[in-house]
Amino acid sequence: MNSIVAFSNVTKKYPGRTALNNISFTLPQGKVIGLVGPNGSGKSTLLKLISGLARPSSGLVEVNGKAAHRRIAGEVAYLSELDVLYPFFTVLETIRFNAGLFKDFDQAKAMEMLTFMQLEPDQKVRSLSKGNRGRLKIILALSRQVPLVLMDEPLSGLDPLVRDSIIRSLISFLDLESQTVIMSTHEVAEVEPILDMVVAIQKGQIRNIDEVENIRSQHGQSLIQWMKETLT
């Protein structure tokens, strides 16, 4: 199976701190992959390296066989943990702005998701609740027709009652024939139903990578149980 992401001996250091320590792994195409681990374990750093927005201190990060750098932005959609929306735009203007930024942006799909997520096109971003800004960020990421979609904590700020329907919508709006998704999350039990694979990271090291089906059938475990064993 072709790998969409490959890390070879990757270390990422920030001043006074090593966020990722000499990690090597590959991830296959066409899967929904969860990235789990405690606070500060290196999940966001790993996603930033794949997006090309950050560079490794040493080692090589490849996406689709090419070294990751800023120019792969055309092949990767990245939902950042930070709020990167312009407050003075309306929801619709935000969508149009992104359609102008990215050639692969599917505006019709964005409008369909807007209806599904029950967002008002004319509402200003500055007046959206945190949860609705989160929904808008999901729409922007999933409307890109790119091989790799990275989502850093896409469920943060969403109320538990709507999380479930949004998690399911992630699946229906993805094209798993041509897309791979890597999402970091602390909502492990909630996303478990849609995950194919899981990567457990701790203290800047990959502790384990496994198929969720395998965790259930071979180990008879839920993802939470597996995490407790893996991350001790």
Q: Which residues in this chain contact ligand ATP in the complex, by CB under 6 A?
A: 14, 17, 19, 37, 39-45
Q: How far is the CB of 228 from ligand ATP (least distance, A)?
A: 17
Among 190, 201, 67, 82, which Cα is nearest to 137's? Answer: 82
Q: How far is the CB of 40 from ligand ATP (least distance, A)?
A: 4
Q: Which residues of 176-192 are buried (b: 16+ CB within 10 A; e: fewer)?
A: eeebbbbbbbebbebbb
- Residues constituting the chain: 232
Q: How far is the CB of 42 from ligand ATP (least distance, A)?
A: 4
Name the one residue in this structure whose structure tokens are 């309306």: 90
Q: How far is the CB of 218 from ligand ATP (least distance, A)?
A: 27
Question: Cβ contacts of residue 127 below 8 Å, gap of 6+?
Answer: none
Q: How far is the CB of 186 from ligand ATP (least distance, A)?
A: 7
7 strand-pairing partners: 25, 61
* Cβ proximity to ligand ATP, 45 vs 143, nearer residue: 45
Name the one residue in this structure whose structure tokens are 């072709």: 2
* Cβ proximity to ligand ATP, 81 vs 210, nearer residue: 81
Distance CA 122, CA 12 (A): 42
SS3 41: coil
* Cβ proximity to ligand ATP, 147 vs 204, nearer residue: 204
H/E segment holding residue 93: helix 91-101
* CB-based contact 224:189 (threshold 8 Å): yes
Q: How far is the CB of 111 from ligand ATP (least distance, A)?
A: 31
* CB-based contact 9:173 (threshold 8 Å): no
Q: Rounded to a whole number, what is the distance in angstroms from the first to the last CA of the chain?
A: 31
